[in-house]
């Protein structure tokens, strides 16, 4: 006789390759803890409602707890012929406690069971991701605070634009990751509804108490439509969308770290622990970790597109196609968690080369806008001021001079409005500190944001 719980209506065994092809146990076994937790709550509810006996529920719960221990101790043998985690556990339960184990699946289907398991699992994983994000954000704020005086070139088009504080640059990423964290928490809130009780698709004939199970499992309520409960995976898709945005942010930071570690920029040094060497060029120290995270961003985008494509046009309700939801989701989770963890440690250990950043900030006429703003304050319309400073910069290029090196006479060739006090405006510090409004790069504005970030992290 077949070991399959559904073998009753079949006369022939499953083709062996089909068995392997249709099985999900190789990847859905990671849901075991959530499958058992859901089953325990379900069994207790069945007894409370008088659908099974109290003693029967106790035996079921006892058996399930033993199975949990077996799996955790690595003593459980997963079987491909039992297809998935749900049937592997149910079969083992029946082997252990006898036919009463077969009562567990009353008023339930694998369709609502798997919808429950993924939600329980993803909920915990989102909490872990929010925790990893906080660690990375703390490392960014620590770097900002430790280097509050460091000035670097700010870029647009990757051309020197205006000087900014390195701390301001770090806090830009803090803001991005704050929004990522918010997105994750919103998705968690939306998915936190119990789908169990939907049965295969239409609900169940038994007098179950879904609200009680929801409460036992920490859900905020129950789903409202059985067809929807077993057939949508929008929560997994929106998680992958938020994960893609998060990875996009990480890929931009990666790109900057890679540029900054090059000999040409030389703004930072990553710890040896996060780099590797070359098998041929002895001098090389390659920023493999940020490069890989930049690369892994593509695979997370790919997972999002896989899920969207998987679900596109599927008729209601459950379709076996949906078993394919797990690998893209699991791969996304592993990739995002790994990337965040490694980034938090790497940023914490990153060395900042203040002198190199400062020297680069002084190049490229980064205080030209400050000269234009100066002329505007002396009464010149901004467009004319722009023209004046443009000519000044051209003169500097021809003379091989920097803006602060010009004599007052040289400045005045371009505008009579320029006086001795111009030199108070063209230093890097003056340029940075003039931008005091909320969100600007002035030291006092950045210090305020550091304090606010700390408060956010501790709140
Ligand atoms: N392993 C299946 C999945 O992941 C569980 C649900 C199977 N339901 C079914 N009717 N075959 O989707």
- pLDDT tens for residues 76-126? 999 999 999 999 999 999 999 999 999 999 999 999 999 999 999 999 999
Active-site annotation holds for 278: yes
CATH topology (fold) of 364-458: Ribonucleotide Reductase Protein R1; domain 1 (1.10.40)
DSSP, residue by residue, 160-225: EEEEEEHHHHHHHHHHHHHHHHHHHHHHHHHH-SB-TT-TTTT--SS---HHHHHHHTT-SSB-S-
Active-site annotation holds for 415: no
SS3 427: coil
Q: How far is the CA of 196 from the centre of ligand 1 (A)?
A: 14
Assigned architecture for domain 16-106: Orthogonal Bundle (1.10)
Q: Is 323 in the pocket of ligand 1 (CB under 6 A)?
A: yes
Q: Measure CA 195 to chain center.
A: 25
**pLDDT on residue 5:** 83
- Kindly tell me if the per-residue pLDDT of 355 is higher than 60: yes
* 198: nearest Cα among 311, 119, 131: 119
Assigned architecture for domain 111-359: Up-down Bundle (1.20)
Candidate of 14, 121, 323, 329 to mutate for ligand 1, largest count of ligand atoms within 8 Å of Cβ = 323
* 228-281 pLDDT, tens digit each: 999 999 999 999 999 999 999 999 999 999 999 999 999 999 998 888 888 888
Question: Which residues lie below 8 Å from residue 250, measured CB to CB, with a gap of 6+?
Answer: 293, 294, 297, 339, 340, 343
Provide φ and ψ at 161, rounded to 5°: -115, -70
For CATH 1.10.275.10, the residue range(s) in the chain are 16-106
Q: Is 322 in the pocket of ligand 1 (CB under 6 A)?
A: yes
Catalytic residue, candidates 157, 279, 313, 407: 157
Question: Which residues lie below 8 Å from residue 188, measured CB to CB, with a gap of 6+?
Answer: 122, 123, 126, 127
Q: How far is the CA of 116 from the centre of ligand 1 (A)?
A: 12
For CATH 1.20.200.10, the residue range(s) in the chain are 111-359
Q: How far apart are CA 352 and CA 131, in angstroms?
A: 26
DSSP, residue by residue, 363-381: STTTTHHHHHHHHHHTT--
Q: Name the β-bridge partners of 419.
A: none
Q: Name the β-bridge partners of 155.
A: 160
Report the sign of the C-alpha dihedral through residues 361, 362, 363, 366, in that order: positive
Q: How far is the CA of 87 from the centre of ligand 1 (A)?
A: 10
Res. 445 pLDDT band, cuts 50 70 90: very high
Q: Tokens 């942010």 label which residue?
A: 249
SS3 286: strand
Q: Is 117 in the pocket of ligand 1 (CB under 6 A)?
A: no
What's the first-to-final CA gap in the chain, in angstroms? 59
């Amino acid at each position: 006789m077949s070991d399959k719980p559904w073998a009753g209506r079949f006369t022939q065994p499953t083709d062996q390759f089909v068995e392997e092809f249709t099985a999900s146990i190789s990847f859905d076994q990671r849901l075991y803890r959530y499958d058992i937790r859901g089953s325990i709550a379900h069994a207790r509810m069945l007894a409370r409602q008088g659908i099974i006996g109290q003693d029967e529920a106790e035996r079921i719960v006892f058996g399930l707890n033993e199975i949990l221990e077996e799996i955790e101790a690595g003593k459980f043998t997963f079987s491909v012929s039992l297809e998935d985690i749900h049937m592997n556990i149910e079969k083992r339960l029946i082997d252990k406690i006898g036919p009463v184990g077969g009562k567990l699946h009353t008023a339930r289907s694998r369709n609502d069971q798997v919808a429950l398991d993924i939600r329980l699992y993803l909920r915990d994983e989102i909490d872990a991701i929010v925790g990893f994000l906080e660690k990375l954000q703390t490392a960014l704020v620590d770097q900002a605070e430790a280097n509050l005086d460091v000035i670097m070139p700010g870029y647009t088009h990757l051309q020197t634009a205006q000087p900014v504080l390195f701390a301001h640059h770090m806090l830009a990423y803090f803001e991005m990751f704050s929004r990522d964290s918010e997105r994750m928490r919103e998705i968690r809130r939306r998915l936190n509804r119990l789908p169990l009780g939907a049965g295969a698709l239409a609900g169940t004939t038994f007098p179950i108490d879904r609200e009680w199970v929801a409460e036992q499992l920490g859900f905020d309520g129950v789903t409202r439509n059985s067809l929807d409960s077993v057939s949508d995976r929008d929560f997994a898709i929106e998680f992958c969308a938020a994960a893609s945005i998060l990875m996009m942010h990480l890929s931009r930071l990666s790109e900057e770290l890679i540029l900054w570690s090059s000999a040409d920029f030389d703004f930072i040094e990553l710890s040896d622990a996060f780099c590797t060497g070359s098998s041929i060029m002895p001098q090389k120290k390659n920023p493999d970790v940020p490069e890989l995270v930049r690369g892994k961003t593509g695979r997370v985008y790919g997972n999002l597109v896989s899920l969207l494509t998987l679900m596109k046009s599927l008729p209601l309700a459950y379709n076996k196609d949906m078993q394919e939801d797990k690998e893209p989701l699991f791969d996304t989770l592993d990739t995002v968690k790994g990337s965040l963890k490694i980034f938090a440690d790497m940023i914490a250990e990153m060395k900042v080369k203040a002198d190199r950043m400062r020297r680069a900030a002084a190049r490229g006429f980064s205080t030209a806008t400050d000269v234009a703003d100066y002329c505007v304050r002396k009464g010149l319309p901004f467009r004319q001021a722009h023209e004046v400073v443009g000519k000044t910069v051209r003169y500097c290029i021809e003379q091989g001079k920097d803006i602060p090196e010009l004599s007052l006479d040289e400045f005045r060739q371009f505008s009579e409005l320029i006086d001795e006090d111009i030199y108070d405006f063209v230093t890097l510090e003056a340029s940075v500190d003039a931008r005091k409004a909320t969100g600007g790069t002035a030291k006092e504005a950045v210090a305020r944001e550091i304090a606010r970030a700390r408060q956010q992290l501790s709140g």
